[in-house]
């Protein structure tokens, strides 16, 4: 389900029963920003895992944000897409 937080939440719940960590990190940007290391990374889930991944995120993107609980990254990605879509339609 594109744009749905359900797959991330199901994965999180499944992993919660095992000793594991979960990090959701959708990105904003297309092929060119990815090649140039200019992605925006929208992290959510386990904050300690986000902090561990931050050096890799800094190589891939120009900004990385920790947004809180699992699902918050997907919701912010939807907001960003809606804003970008409205700017393109004008």
Pairwise CA distance, residues 28 & 80, whole Å: 8
77 assigned to active site: yes
The single residue of 5, 32, 59, 77 carrying the catalytic annotation is 77
- Dihedral sign computed on CA atoms, order 64, 71, 68, 84: positive
Active site residues: 77
């Amino acid at each position: 389900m594109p744009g749905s937080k359900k797959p991330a939440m199901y994965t999180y719940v499944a992993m919660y029963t095992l000793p594991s960590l979960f990090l959701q990190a959708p990105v904003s940007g297309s092929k060119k920003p990815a090649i140039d290391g200019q992605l925006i990374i929208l992290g959510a889930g386990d904050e300690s895992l986000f902090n561990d991944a931050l050096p890799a995120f800094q190589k891939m993107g120009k900004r990385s944000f920790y947004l809180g609980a699992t699902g918050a990254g997907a919701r912010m990605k939807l907001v960003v897409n809606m804003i970008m879509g409205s700017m393109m339609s004008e």
